[in-house]
């Protein structure tokens, strides 16, 4: 690539709603680290998105810091990438207002995440929950990001961000890059260990359903031992075998082997042995993250330095785009 050619910009965010799960790691964050080699990367903790669900302020603050440390522990290099906390850069919220004015009520009403979360939090269906995807579009468009690595559950939100970009460009003239989603081939949707038709989620009420990336080995082994399978005996990837399919997918992600290789390795073996092997593989896979996280959490001053530097760099980049968008709309210059 020549010096004048712009490297592609990768951007993604994660909500600080708890310790990340194996699903978050496999479906999203582990790819973030790998992409740093080739692209200009921007990663942030989406604390503004997180307050669409009511939070206790003290534990929310703690979780945001822990989530930031976790992203670094998962391989984000804060020197190479821009790694920051969303609320530290006001430009996301600024652009979000503008984009809200080119987004239709009907489009937001169709978002399945809104429908799910509204059903789950029926006593607090706030406007932020409804306009959540507009803020997400602003997160992406304010850096003119080219590629957005996310899990499958965020596909609909990305489609909306693309539609918003196209509409703005049509109305006001070429302005925003229309972003592409980047979905992992294997592991785009890791399922719950207890109900393998549902996605593995941070906020599942059943503690055995979800593997957290900071779980110790004993906990991981216990959760896999209890993982739901089926009444068949064969370890193969097939329709209707959701539990086994999920375990094969997890094993493949943790070891780098293909599903076919995994099926061959376990041909003729029992489910019990298979579950132990998956547990072992996951524990080994996550061990370096746990060690690095403990090291980082011991050095809060360093973490603060990193997120401050990240926010400043993010602000500078996004401000150029925001200023240009304001001009296109017809807002009056003041400098």
> Is 15 a binder of ligand LTN (CB under 6 A)?
yes
Q: If 0-12 CB within 10 Å is exposed, 13-18 middle and 19+ buried, where does residue 206 land?
A: exposed
> Is 289 a binder of ligand ATP (CB under 6 A)?
no
> Is 55 a binder of ligand ATP (CB under 6 A)?
no
Closest of 23, 324, 42, 33 to residue 179, by C-alpha: 42
Please tell me the count of residues contacting ligand LTN according to CB under 6 A.
14
113 vs 219, beta carbon nearer ligand LTN: 113
150 vs 314, beta carbon nearer ligand ATP: 150
Report the catalytic residues: 117, 199, 202
Q: List, as own/partner pairs, every contact residues 212-216 make where C-beta atoms lie below 8 angstroms and the sequence separation is at least 24, other chains included.
A: 212/18, 212/19, 212/20, 212/21, 212/22, 213/19, 213/20, 213/21, 213/22, 213/24, 213/25, 213/70, 213/74, 213/286, 213/289, 213/290, 214/19, 214/70, 214/286, 214/289, 214/290, 214/293, 215/286, 216/290
> Is 190 a binder of ligand LTN (CB under 6 A)?
no
> Is 194 a binder of ligand ATP (CB under 6 A)?
no
Q: How far is the CB of 30 from ligand ATP (least distance, A)?
A: 10
Report the run of H or E that residue 149 belongs to, with start and end: strand 147-149
CA triplet 208, 210, 213: central angle to 5 degrees? 125
Distance of CA 316 to the CA centre of its chain: 24
Helices and strands (DSSP H and E) totals, the chain: 14, 5
Q: How far is the CB of 249 from ligand ATP (least distance, A)?
A: 9
Residue 43 and residue 314: Cα distance in Å, rounded? Answer: 10
Q: How far is the CB of 47 from ligand ATP (least distance, A)?
A: 11
Residue 199 and residue 19: Cα distance in Å, rounded? Answer: 16
Binds ligand ATP (CB under 6 A): choice among 9, 10, 27, 147: 27
3-class secondary structure, 166: helix
What is the x/- site pattern for ligand ATP, positions 62-91, by CB under 6 A?
A: ------------------------------
102 vs 135, beta carbon nearer ligand ATP: 135
> Looking at 3-11, 86-94, 186-194, 259-267, which segment touches ligand ATP (CB under 6 A)?
186-194
> Is 121 a binder of ligand ATP (CB under 6 A)?
no
Residue 67 binding: pick among ligand LTN, ligand ATP, none (C-beta 5-8 Å cut-off by kind): none
> Is 151 a binder of ligand ATP (CB under 6 A)?
yes
Contacting positions for ligand ATP (CB under 6 A): 14-15, 17, 21, 23-24, 26-28, 150-151, 153-154, 188-190, 199-203
Contacting positions for ligand LTN (CB under 6 A): 11-15, 46, 49, 136, 139-140, 148, 150, 154, 157
């Amino acid at each position: 690539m020549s010096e004048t050619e712009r490297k592609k910009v990768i951007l993604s965010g994660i909500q600080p709603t708890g310790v990340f799960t194996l699903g978050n790691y496999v479906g999203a964050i582990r790819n973030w680290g790998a992409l740093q080699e080739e692209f200009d990367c921007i990663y942030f903790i989406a604390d503004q998105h997180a307050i669409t669900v009511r939070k206790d302020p003290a534990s929310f603050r703690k979780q945001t810091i822990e989530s930031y440390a976790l992203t670094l522990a998962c391989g984000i290099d804060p020197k190479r990438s821009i790694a920051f906390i969303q609320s530290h850069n006001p430009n996301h919220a600024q652009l979000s207002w503008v984009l809200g004015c080119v987004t239709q009520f009907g489009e937001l009403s169709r978002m399945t995440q809104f429908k799910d979360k509204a059903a789950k939090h029926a006593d607090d269906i706030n406007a932020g929950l409804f306009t959540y995807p507009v803020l997400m579009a602003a997160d992406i468009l304010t850096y003119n990001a080219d590629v957005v690595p996310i899990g499958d559950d965020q596909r609909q939100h990305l489609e909306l961000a693309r539609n918003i970009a196209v509409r703005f460009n049509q109305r006001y003239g070429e302005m925003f890059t229309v972003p592409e989603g980047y979905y992992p081939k294997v592991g785009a949707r890791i399922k719950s260990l207890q109900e393998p038709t549902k996605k593995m989620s941070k906020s599942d009420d059943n503690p055995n359903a979800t593997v957290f990336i900071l779980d110790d080995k004993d906990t991981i082994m216990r959760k896999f031992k209890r993982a739901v399978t089926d009444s068949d005996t064969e370890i193969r990837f097939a329709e209707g075998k959701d539990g086994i399919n999920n375990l094969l997918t997890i094993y493949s992600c943790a070891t780098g082997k293909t599903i076919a290789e995994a099926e061959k390795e376990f041909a003729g073996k029992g489910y019990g042995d298979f579950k132990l092997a998956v547990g072992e593989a996951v524990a080994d896979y996550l061990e370096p993250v746990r060690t690095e996280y403990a090291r980082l959490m011991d050095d809060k001053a360093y973490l603060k330095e990193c997120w401050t530097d990240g926010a400043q760099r993010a602000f500078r980049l996004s401000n150029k785009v925001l200023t240009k968008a304001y001009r296109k709309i017809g807002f009056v210059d003041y400098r």
